[in-house]
Chains A and B, each alone.
Chain A
Amino acid sequence: MSRLFQAQRAMRRKRQAALARGVVAILDVGTFNTTCLVLRFEQNTPTGEGVGQMAGQSNVRVIGAATTQARGMRLGEVDTMPEVERAIRTVVQAAQKMAGLRVDHVIASFSGGRPESIALQGEASLRDGPCDVHDVAHVLASIDTPDLGEGREAMHAQPVNFGIDHRTQLRDPRGQTGEALSADLHLLSVDAHAIENLLTCLHRCDLECAGLASAPYAAATAVLVEDEKELGAACIDMGAGTTGVTIFARRHMIYSSTVRMGGDHVTADISQGLRVPHDVAERIKCRFGGVHATGQDDRERIALEAETGDWHHDRRSVTRTELIGIVRPRLEEVLEAARIRLDEAGFDHLPGQRIVLTGGASHIPGLDGLATRILGNQVRLGRPMRVQGLPEMAKGPSFAACVGLCMHAAAPQDEFWDFDAVGPRDAGRPVKRALRWFAENW
């Protein structure tokens, strides 16, 4: 796992540099929107009665925010690199202008790259005394990197569970005694070229990457509430290009995957079915889209005006029922694909069955009703939690991933918790043993 350690530690160093400077940018490169937030770290955690534990979002303030239409992205991946660069330049410059200062470090998220979850186990014997940081590092280092496949790269690797001897599900094994320490690691691998392309874009915009997160994971951290994370819940982040499925249990992500379908496919269906341009289809979807047709909808006609010169073509209209007839099957398909992913992950066996829908496509009215029929009873629409200074336009579910990244920056929960990876420590062992012998026998 050392290569992964190295990459993560390099990013951690940059993140620490950004923390020291007090300013970091959040960049969510999505398929529909590209958003940049400029964060300033400040210590103003409110205290007092009725104020519970916060997820660290009180330590940051958004001082600059900009969002623009995404360009050059397809299915959450870089498609046309110069276009993506232009979009990044646009948002970064606008956010810098609003913040009035320059940002060099950026924490980015993207949803593409076909993330795959891999569960790994490792075990190490506790040789001397109670478990300490070195033992944890040792057991983490004992986990071998599996064969991720050609062109795959580990993006997140987090220990989700520790066990000592027959006791499992320890949150933190430090200080406990036993014979053998085992660890379960959740590793999220993504397409290496997708990461590489995004990093190249950032590099060509003179930005340094201080962290990289999978957008479904970031969205889930922002949207799920504490007890959902604890008991187990799934977050379905319905973006434009992809739909991310993330399962949390015992406060850790235990599964993440994406369905490579999203709101853009709905728009493409409308565009094809109604023979209208893509931007008109997008507008119609946002304005009239729905999933439950009623009698009222039969009478509501949507004008499809155009300027092609063909009189009959320019003066068409469809009923809203017809529109819903196009939107609904695609959304059902997306949700069913998400259901399949959840079943694969064994979501049924978790104590909590809550499913939270978020992302831009979750705006479609009636979606929660449709999702209830496909995914189960405990479905709710999730909005990201509040971050100080976040503009009103960025408070909707479309920006869940951004808010999740804010949390990521504010409470830098490292990919490896706070355990430093240490190499073999046999060098100092004889001295230590001699000292212990003295301590015990003197």
Chain B
Amino acid sequence: MDPVTRRADPAPSVLSYRLNRLWLRRGIRLAVLRGLPLAAALAAGLVWASDPDRRAAMTQSAQTVAEAIRGRPEFAVTQLRVEGADGSLRTAIAQVADLRFPVSRFDLDLPALVARLEALDPVHSAEAMLRTGGVLLVRVAERRAVVAHLEAGTVTARDATGHRVATLDDVAKAGALPLIAGPGAQDAVGQALALTRAAAPLEDDLVGLVRVGKRRWDLVLSDDRRILLPEAAPVQALDRALAMHAAKDVLSRDVAVLDMRLRGRPVLRLSARALDELHRLRAGGPETQIAETTR
């Protein structure tokens, strides 16, 4: 006889059938296979991090590792090389950079360094970059002084945009730089330069330019003679004055002020001595020719 064995029922029980069908639901399977491990890992992390000592220890160890990496010689910057500057600017740059070598390249804040360098008066633009061999290269474009600005007893060299380049000891140090003066003169350096260029025929007589009322220029010549220029189109007014001079030799006469402010009506102001002479001549006879304005 065969031993009486009870064969297992191949049919799944109701519970296993229901569980099987539940497992075949996409949402359930996703939740169990993805969501559950994620939640468990998250919970474990939160439990671990809820202890402040452990958090501090982890921060400490992370800092140690960061320090170790930061201090490696491969990342050390050992020298500063400056291009495009010399003399006093070079020392000023070194002073502003304020670096004690060797320094890790992770500690360098190059944008801040560039900002500090560009805050220097003689520096027009600067760029800083790290080169191989631990070199911090700073490339600088210097401002070029084009005018000397007299104000309140000091002489300031300024570039074409009116920005201060350096403070000079006295006017003699300015050399060939054109002189400008008056309040607000630094805001119209470009115009001053154009006027200086236009005034080239008067080069020997030219003393400088004075800004009047922060709006217009006076051209000051030797013997304190002045050409008053209008606010609008001063260069053309100066050209007209020079043409007048070329035609009638106006400025060589005894004239204190040539007023070109009104376009259609140039005015000559005689010096006191000339005025006396004029009065005297007028008293003398009508045939006497007098200096007169020309059209």
The interface of chain A, by Cβ under 8 A from chain B, is 68, 71, 86-87, 89-90, 92-93, 96-97, 100-102, 205-206, 307, 309
Contact A205 B25 (CB under 8 A): no
Q: Is B18 an interface residue (CB 8 A)?
A: yes
Given the known interface contacts A68-B10, A307-B1, A307-B2, the answer about A89 and B24 at a Cβ–Cβ threshold of 8 Å is: no
Contact A309 B1 (CB under 8 A): yes
* Contact among A86, A93, A96, A100 for B9, CB-based, below 8 A: A86
B11 neighbours in A (Cβ, 8 Å):
71, 86-87, 89-90
| Nearest CB of chain A from residue B165's CB, rounded to whole Å | 80
Partner of A93, one of B1, B2, B17, B25: B17
Contact partner, A205, options B1, B2, B17, Cβ 8 Å: B17
Query: Beyond the given A93-B12, A101-B24, A102-B21, could you list 18 further A-B residue pairs with CB under 8 A, ordered by the A residue number?
Result: A68-B10, A71-B11, A86-B9, A86-B11, A89-B17, A90-B11, A90-B12, A92-B17, A93-B20, A96-B20, A97-B20, A100-B24, A102-B25, A206-B17, A206-B18, A206-B21, A307-B2, A309-B1
Whether A89 contacts B1 by the Cβ 8 Å rule is no
* Interface check B14, CB cutoff 8 A: yes
- Given contact pairs A307-B1, A307-B2, A96 touches B12 in the complex (Cβ within 8 A): no
Instruction: Sample 22 A-B pairs with CB under 8 A, ordered by A number.
Output: A68-B10, A71-B11, A87-B11, A89-B12, A90-B10, A90-B11, A92-B17, A93-B12, A93-B17, A93-B20, A93-B21, A96-B20, A96-B21, A97-B20, A100-B24, A101-B24, A102-B21, A102-B25, A205-B17, A206-B17, A307-B1, A309-B1
Please report which residues of chain B, range 20-61, place their CB below 8 angstroms from some CB of chain A when the two chains form the complex.
20-21, 24-25
Q: Which of A68, A71, A89 has the most CB of B within 10 A?
A: A89
Tell me the minimal C-beta distance from A220 to chain B in angstroms. 31
Assembly CA distance A86 to B9 (angstroms) = 9
In the complex, A309 Cα to B110 Cα: how many Å? 102
* Residues of chain B with a CB closer than 8 A to A68's CB: 10
How many Å lie between the Cα of A237 and that of B24 in the bound state? 35
4 tightest Cβ-Cβ pairs between the two chains A and B: A86-B11, A102-B24, A90-B11, A89-B17
A101 to B20, CA, bound (A): 10
A residues within 8 A CB of B9? 86
How near does chain A come to B14, taking the closest CB pair, in angstroms? 7
CB distance from B19 to the nearest CB of A (A): 10
Once the chains are docked, how many angstroms separate the CA of A102 from the CA of B26?
9
Q: Check A96 against B24 for contact (C-beta < 8 Å).
A: yes
* Chain B contact residues, CB within 8 Å of chain A: 1-2, 9-12, 14, 17-18, 20-21, 24-25
A70 to B136, CA, bound (A): 87
Closest A residue to B11 using CB positions: A86
Contacts of B25 in A (CB 8 A): 102
CA distance A100 to B2 in the complex (A): 39
Q: Which residues of B contact A90 (CB under 8 A)?
A: 10-12
Alpha-carbon separation in the docked complex, A203 to B261 (Å)? 108
> A88 — nearest CB in chain B belongs to which residue?
B11
Contacts of B17 in A (CB 8 A): 89, 92-93, 205-206
In the bound complex, CA of A57 to CA of B12 (Å) = 32
Cα distance A93–B20 in the bound complex, in angstroms: 8
Alpha-carbon distance A93/B22, docked complex (angstroms)? 11
- Name the residue of chain B whose CB is nearest to the CB of A309: B1
Chain B residue with minimal CB distance to A99?
Answer: B24
CA distance A307 to B2 in the complex (A): 8
CA A309 to CA B2, docked complex, whole Å: 11
Most buried by B among A97, A100, A206: A206
Interface-central residue, B9, B17, B18, by most chain A CB under 10 Å: B17
Chain B residue with Cβ nearest A100:
B24
Q: How far is the CA of A69 from the CA of B10 in the complex (A)?
A: 10
Closest Cβ of chain A to B262, distance in Å, is 88
Residues of A within 8 A of B10 (CB): 68, 90
What is the bound-complex CA distance between A429 and B14, given in angstroms?
55
Provide the residues of chain A in CB contact with B14, threshold 8 Å: 89
Q: Give the residues in chain B near A71, CB-CB below 8 Å.
A: 11
B1 CB to nearest A CB, Å: 7
B239 to chain A, nearest CB (A): 88
CA distance A206 to B20 in the complex (A): 12
Distance, CA A96 to CA B24, complexed state (A): 8
Chain B residue numbers with a CB within 8 Å of A92 are: 17
Q: How far is the CB of A394 from chain B (nearest CB, A)?
A: 19
Complex CA gap A87/B14 in Å reads 12
- Give bound CA distance, A97 to B19, whole Å: 13
A407–B21 alpha-carbon span in the complex (Å): 26
How distant is A66 from chain B, measured CB to nearest CB, in Å? Answer: 11
Output the least CB separation between A393 and chain B (Å): 17
Shortest Cβ distance from A87 into B: residue: B11
A101 surroundings in chain B (CB, below 8 A): 24
Give every chain A residue within 8 A of B21 (Cβ-Cβ): 93, 96, 102, 206
Q: How far is the CB of A186 from chain B (nearest CB, A)?
A: 38
In the complex, what distance in Å separates the CA atom of A205 from the CA atom of B20? 12
Which chain A residue shows the least CB distance to B9? A86
| Residues of A with C-beta under 8 A to B24 | 96, 100-102
Give Cα A68–Cα B12 distance, bound, in whole angstroms.
Answer: 13
Which residues from B are CB-within-8-Å of A102?
21, 24-25
Chain B contacts of A97 at CB under 8 A?
A: 20
Interchain nearest-CB distance for B86 vs A (Å): 79
Distance A71 CA – B9 CA, assembled complex (angstroms): 12
Q: What is the CA–CA distance of A442 and B1 in the complex, to the nearest angstrom?
A: 99
Q: With the chains together, A205 CA to B11 CA distance in Å? A: 12
Specify which chain B residues have a CB less than 8 angstroms from the CB of A93 in the assembled complex: 12, 17, 20-21
Interchain CA distance A92-B24 in the complex, whole Å: 12
Residues on B with C-beta less than 8 A from A87 are 11
Give A309 to B1 CA distance when docked, in angstroms: 8
What is the minimal beta-carbon distance from A169 to any residue of chain B, in angstroms? 48
State A90–B16 Cα separation when bound (angstroms): 11
Q: For A307, what are the chain B residues with a Cβ–Cβ distance below 8 Å?
A: 1-2
**Which partner residue on chain A sits nearest B18 by CB separation?**
A206
A97 to B25, CA, bound (A): 12
Taken together as a complex, chains A and B put the C-alpha atoms of A178 and B2 apart, in Å, by 78
B14 to A, closest residue via Cβ: A89
